[in-house]
Amino acid sequence: MKRFLFVLALLLLVLARPARAAELSAKSAVVYEPRTGTVLLAQDAETPMLVASTTKIMTALVVLENCALNEPVTVTKAHQEVEGSSAWLVPGGTYTVEDVLYGLLLNSGNDAAAALADHCAGSMEAFAALMNEKCAALGLAHTHFVNSHGLDDPEHYSCALDLARLTAAAMENPVFSRIFGTYSREVRGVEYVNHNKLLLSCPGCIGGKTGYTMAAGRVLVSCAEREGMRLICVTISDPDDWLDHAALYDAYFGAWQYVPVPGDGWLQMSVISGERDAAALRCSVPGFLLPRDVDTAITVRIPRFVFAPVLEGQRVGTVLLRCSDGTLLAAEVFAAEHVALDPTVPLTRWEKFRRMWFFASRAPGAYIVDV
């Protein structure tokens, strides 16, 4: 119930600040906050469209999940001859998976995409199957891939919201995140320069991928962080994508704030008769997304103590976030670890009472943290 109230309150906050989507040049657009999964702007965001080289976000993620970075990649003449943008890979040259990933994400090389597909799965068709399996795992219901590079095909499509969610998942991979945000890299004497101009021109930009075909138009996926808040922006068929992304980041970073709760182990709960005296806790949400013009305070309500055993994932309390505008958001608190009963400490009724009295006298019933 509290989870429902949290989602409902957050939805009302989003609806209270409608996006000015009419000012965008894009046919489709999304501004997405990945930690809470909140869509701050949606303009025709779930319509399947051609997405060109932004496909390579999925290509890189699938490769990283199935290949080691130091594996040697065999480049063939067929890879070199794939039409469109190139990483200038030389047939018979010596490359590692990591080398080719830089050519894929920075230089948007279609030759790199084809070489990685064959290396990872043996054929383009088999690799596309892996891509679609990942789509299913991520819940990308409006996406289907038939190739690793994004050249036009009626059966190859995605939508702005799916691209945002895909990018959020990919950014959780530290290698992807590193390459995605690299401006330039020399590989075997060839310098790759990231096509994402926002890395230098937009404050806080930490990555992005461009795409273009005549049929798809200009497609851009980017990610930025400011003051501890991360946003992902996607535009499809947008002739003014650089300006639109920069303006969207200024608008939404200016209007919203991300209030995190501490990570796993951020608080402990006293445990009686356990193999350890305390259990670490975690919250059901990583943080809260709120309008920037409100002040906040977090109250954590947990028991003064519990008797062992404590099960990992056991619900033990609630996090309440109170806002200066009267908004109250709630999330659940769970045990982050298992604490077994200590068999060497048999407790009589008197000993249980004594320990309960001891913990009750020293541990408060609620912990309050101002944010």
Residue 211 lies in a domain: yes
The whole-angstrom separation of Cα 309 and Cα 296 is 35
Residue 307: closest CA among 349, 343, 356: 356
User: Can you read off the two tokens belonging to residue 324?
Assistant: 């200066």
Domain, as residue range, for 230? 18-258
Active site residue 270: no
Tens digit of each residue's pLDDT (9 = 90 or more) over 91-101:
998 899 999 99
Judge contact between 196 and 85, C-beta under 8 A: no
- Domain boundary, last residue among 213, 228, 258: 258
- Domain boundary, last residue among 237, 258, 279: 258
Active site residue 352: no
Tens digit of each residue's pLDDT (9 = 90 or more) over 188-224:
999 999 999 999 999 999 999 999 999 999 999 999 9
Number of domains in the chain: 2
Query: Which of 95-99, 165-169, 272-276 is predicted with the least confidence, judged by mean pLDDT?
Result: 272-276
- pLDDT at 30 (0 to 100): 98
pTM: 0.83
Residue 215: closest CA among 162, 147, 153, 155: 153
CATH number for the domain that contains residue 361: 2.60.410.10
Residue 263 lies in a domain: no
Both ends of the chain: CA-CA distance in Å? Answer: 24
Helix (H) or strand (E) holding 104: helix 97-105
Candidate list 27, 28, 85, 108, residue with the active-site label = 108
- Domain boundary, last residue among 258, 291, 314: 258
Candidate list 27, 28, 53, 237, residue with the active-site label = 53
The whole-angstrom separation of Cα 5 and Cα 332 is 11
| In the predicted structure, residue 227 carries a pLDDT above the cut 90 | yes
356 with 327, same domain?
Answer: yes
277 with 224, same domain?
Answer: no
Active site residue 53: yes
- pLDDT at 350 (0 to 100): 56
